[in-house]
Amino acid sequence: MDLIGTAQMTNSLRSQVRSAADRIADAFAAEEYKGLQLAFRLRLIALGLIALFLLWLSPWPQVLYFHALMLGFVATGLLSLTRDATRPGPSPAAWTRWLLPVADLALVTFAVVQPNPLGGEEWFTPPLRLRLDNSLWLLLFVALATLTYSPRQVIWTGISGALCWIAATFWIGTLPGSVFTFRNGEGWYAMTPEQQTAAVVNPYSVSGIALTKQVFLLLVVSGLLAAAVQRSRMLVLRQVRVEGERAQLARYFSSNMVEQLADADRPLREVRTETVAVLFADIVGFTALSEAKTPEQVIALLREFHARMQAVVFAHQGTLDKYLGDGLMATFGTPHPGRRDAVNALAAARHMAETVEAWNRLRQHEGAEPIRIGIGLHWGPVVLGDIGGDNRLEFATIGDTVNVANRLEQMPPRARSGDSRERCARGGGRDYRAARGRASARWFCAISAAVGARA
């Protein structure tokens, strides 16, 4: 039976982890799709600028050939926005990741190496087209791929460009009259300087060294851009986790404590004993009060009460330990104790009573019955640490100090006032001034009983 329960717990935890991973993957897929939309808009802008540039660079009507090829880039850009129907949110279809980069780069390679059928470039030999830094056009599409926030997309675009350029170079090398030259090996070094110069300036020479440099540069730049995209993704993931942790901390600690905990080196889950102040507060007679209300009214009352009390706790550097139905438990001095923990707790108790009095005036003005609360305080040693199972942990504050504060809060006002000195004496205490800013347990309980009685 234990093995079955453990297996179920493990499967539940794995499903939670998978669901969180799936949510992050879906979020990145949605951002990739937004990146493709941005890339398409930038593609249109770039194509417009290139079209204007070609009007100045190429004569008429030869420029119409390049303008016609640009329509192909517009078509591939539109196809890249095809959505994946298997995902709940907007995300690019899987086939567009692999086919469209190849189509784009094959088209740009074709535009570079294929002679213009409208003429005007008869003096160009095919090998010369490989020497005019035309491979730089491939980098434009690698740069556009970075907008998808997908390292694989960037790498694949670079590899596709390298393969297309290699294929074009070898195709030109097989044309009649073309000669492959490599500026290394025994054949090259056996040439005279005049022969080497003639081989380099030969308009039919296809340089293997130039091809190697172009492909190497394209792949290196693609790798660097992919690494930058991957680093950005990891930074986003870390920031999401940090903000999630801060949001969880903000549920229990005041804003200044959240910043201290986020920057602290000491682990929060470390079990330790500290001297802190513990405060309990709840609505007196809540059961009878809630019987005359609808469920919606009961929940609205609790939410308003908890919100007001939480604000008071945080205003006095306290920690909201937990909500207890119609009450709450707060601590002062967790997770890190300070010299004014007890003083802050006492000020919070007084502030709570004043807050409830102000709230009651507002409620009476609205025709609602007043609210009475009970408050119990104690200061002393407690044990701090995480408790719970693998699926859910809770930062707990336990010990006799917690029990005393809880009993004080539950006592009737008269008994609380009359017995506070005796009960606090049993709990032990110190002189207030000797406590270096911390009220003694005896003084603390007496004041807290008075606050409870007044509220």
Q: Which of 118, 172, 112 is nearest to 141 (CA)?
A: 112
Q: Read off the pLDDT of residues 23-50 as tens digits, 9 standing for 90 and up.
A: 666 666 677 777 777 878 888 888 888 8
Q: Do 177 and 297 sit in the same domain of this protein?
A: no
CA pair distance 332, 320, nearest whole angstrom = 9
Report pLDDT for 306.
Answer: 92
The answer to whether 341 and 276 are in contact (CB under 8 A) is: yes
Q: Do 142 and 287 sit in the same domain of this protein?
A: no
Preceding peptide of 61 cis, ω within 30°: yes
The answer to whether 47 and 74 are in contact (CB under 8 A) is: yes
Name which residue leads in pLDDT, 178 or 88: 178
Residue 397 is part of a domain; what is its CATH number? 3.30.70.1230
Q: Do 174 and 322 sit in the same domain of this protein?
A: no
Task: State pTM to two decimals.
Answer: 0.53
Strands, DSSP E only, in 101-222?
179-181, 205-207
User: Out of 109-113, 213-217, 251-255, which region has the weakest mean confidence (pLDDT)?
Assistant: 251-255
247, 276, 292 — which closes off a domain? 247
247, 279, 307 — which closes off a domain? 247
Q: Do 189 and 279 sit in the same domain of this protein?
A: no
Q: Do 227 and 339 sit in the same domain of this protein?
A: no
What average pLDDT does the segment 395-410 reach?
86
The answer to whether 227 and 174 are in contact (CB under 8 A) is: no
Angle at 212 between CA 208 and CA 217, to 5 degrees: 150
The answer to whether 12 and 390 are in contact (CB under 8 A) is: no
Q: Do 208 and 290 sit in the same domain of this protein?
A: no
Report pLDDT for 23.
Answer: 65
Q: How many domains, in total, are found in the chain?
A: 2
Q: What domain range includes position 435?
A: 268-454
Name which residue leads in pLDDT, 29 or 149: 149
For residue 440, pLDDT over 50 is answered with no
